[in-house]
Structures are given as C-alpha cells and as structure tokens.
Amino acid sequence: MAGQGPVRYHAPMIRTAILGLGSYVPDRVVTNDELRFLDDKHERQAEPTIATDDAWIQQRTGIRERRYVQPGVATSDLAAEAAKRALADAGVAATDIDCIIVGTLSPDIHFPGVGVFLQRKLGIADKTSCPCYDIRQQCSAFLYGLQMADAFVKSGTYKRVLLVGAEIHSHSMDFSTRGRDVTALFGDGAGAMVLGPAPTDDAKQGVIYTKVHADGTGAENLYIKIFDITKAPYMAYDTRDREVNKDIYPQMDGKRVYVRAVREMNLATQRALAETGFTWDDIDWFVPHQANLRINEQVAALAKIPTEKCLHTIQFFGNTTAATVPLTIDHWRQAGKVKKGDRVLSTVFGSGFTWGAAIFTV
C-alpha cells in the first residue's frame, strides 16, 4: 500500500529445547545386605567389612540398592552409553553434535577430561572437532551444565549440545566402618540430554528457568583430597596404610551438609516458582537431586510440594551425583510416568557448596 514502509519480519525468539534424553546404569545390583560384606575390590567376604545393615541404611538414606561397574569400565564408557541413547531419542547423529558438556567428579584419569574421551567413543573426534567441556560442580553439575547449554543455544553459539552427567563412585569408596556414612550413599550411572534451538515465542516451553549458586565456605564439609597439589609429591602416602590413607576417600560433615541442602534446595525451589510465576498446578514433576531421600522429603514438606509430583530413584541407584537428574527423569519416562511435554522443576545441592534450580519441559 502506498505510503507504508517495508514490512519487517520479526523472527521468533530462540528458546532451548530438550530434543532427546537417555540414561545408563551398570548391570550389577548391590543391595544394602551385600554392601556390608564387600571389600575394596567389590568381592564378598565371609564376615562383614562394614558395621551396618539394610535397616540402618534405609532409615538414614532411603537407599535399598545401587549399581556398580565391573573392573575395567571407565566413566566415559557410562557417558557414552547414556549419550547414544539420548542421541537416538532425539533422532540426531553424533556428527551433528557441535558441543559436549560433561559433569563429573570421577573422571577417567586426572586429565584430560571425560569430554574428549566421550567424543572419541562416539566416533566423532576426527570428524567434528567439537569443543568438549568438563565441569566440576559435583551433585549440582547437571543444572550448571544445563544453564551453560541454554546460554550457548540461545546465543546461537552451538545448535546441538550434548549434556552428560556420569559417575563411577564405587572405585573410590572406603569399604570399612570408618567410611560407611559415605559408602552407603553412592552408586554408578549416567544420564544425558541433547539440547537444541526451538523457534518459539512461548516462554513456557523448553528450558524456562535456570539459576545456580555457590558458597565456598562449605568446601571442606564434603570433599576428597586425593589430588592435593600442595603436597610434594601430591600422593605422598601409602594408600594401603589405614593410618594415613584417609585422604584418598571422600569426607563429609553429614549434619552440616544435610542442613544446608534442605535450606538451599527449599529456597531455590520457592525462588524458581516466584520468579516464573508458576505454582505447583503448573508443574508436572519435582525432580530433586538424589542425595538422600530424607533431604528430599524435608524439602518437599517445606516447599509444600504435592507428594504425587515428587520423583525419586535414590532407592534403586543411590547417589549418582551429576547423573541423578537426567537418570531420574529417564527412569520414570521409561516406566510411563513422565511424558513428552511435561514440565519439570529440578533442584540440586552439592559439595562446594553449590546448588540451584531449573524449570524445563521434557
């Protein structure tokens, strides 16, 4: 029409969508009753090696069993299995991935990181030269990685991001009464997501909200000092000497971790709802980090989360740190509970201290 300026096309805002989801756990199931008889090679002994039992562990943690890898299996092997399932679910070829982010506290070796080993095991190391990030936020790593992936996709930096959380804890536990508070908690496993752009103006789709935090004053309340760079050499002790080898195992101030986890996960959950304007009527599932069932039950009570919306897998898999969020979602998706398009609120807490929350649709 005469006199009118050119019609301007406004492209829809790019949002980040979860294109595929996958998980993997080892075949070996270790029950609480079996755990108390295992040595550090995971071989059953005639007499208990740990002064504990099924009732003691379930009462304190809610855990009934966990999964352990076989000797010779690496964290990148678990990551690769979960990644392949997520890629298949997304209908995306490995060669389409232009960024890999791996969250883990149990890398294959001290360096390089798991990301490059995963890239190689997916068969794309010499084909794409995609960047590989390893992030070390322990139990909070998956949500930290989700925030990174979301920023990369929204900015147009990358179009297909593979985000993986993978852990092998069983090789670093103290199979004695001294280490039972930590050893009872952890298992091996991996979970993965493929993320990419979804052109839409709907702010209630895809990755809707992420916010993460840290407080370094709690760093020594949950840690492992095996690689202590202040020492020369940094492993100057006999690893078999029970009097001096404590530093090769995880250490935890359980009471302080419990209190801070409940506090921060509750506050992060309520902040996520307040800042998005959502209520529990808008959220299909609450997926907390699977560190301790008692922590999650306390958070649910404080945040007034409907019990039927809380998803847990700690009873089956224990704490798989960086893997717990995608592993839990995928477990219940395979069981037919979680459906495509469901909206999830997830909150996490880990050593560092680190914590955060996210809202996204699967």
Residues of 229-261 as b/e, b for ≥16 C-beta within 10 angstroms? eeeeeeeeeeeeeeeeeebbbbbbeeeebbebb
The span from the CA of 55 to the CA of 354, in Å, is: 30
Contact 159, 19 (CB under 8 A): no
- Residue 212 and residue 138 in contact, taking contact as beta carbons nearer than 8 Å: no
Residues in the chain, overall count = 362
For residues 197 and 19, the answer to whether their CB atoms sit within 8 Å is: no
Instruction: Return the residue matching tokens 């997830």.
Output: 346
Picking from 164, 160, 205, the residue whose alpha carbon sits closest to that of residue 359 is 205
Asked whether the CA dihedral 307, 313, 316, 319 is positive or negative, the reply is negative
Q: What is the distance between the alpha carbons of residues 221 and 350, in angstroms, rounded to a whole number?
A: 10
Residue 302 buriedness (CB in 10 A; 0-12 / 13-18 / 19+): middle
Q: In whole angstroms, how far apart are CA 320 and each of 75, 90, 197, 345?
A: 12, 23, 28, 19
* Spatial strand order in the sheet of 285-288: 207-214, 354-361, 343-350, 285-288
The angle subtended at Cα 96 by Cα 84 and Cα 115, nearest 5°, is 60
Closest alpha carbon to 167 in 353, 350, 347 = 350
Q: Which two tokens stand for residue 83?
A: 């990644």
3-class SS at 51?
coil
Catalytic residues: 139, 289, 319
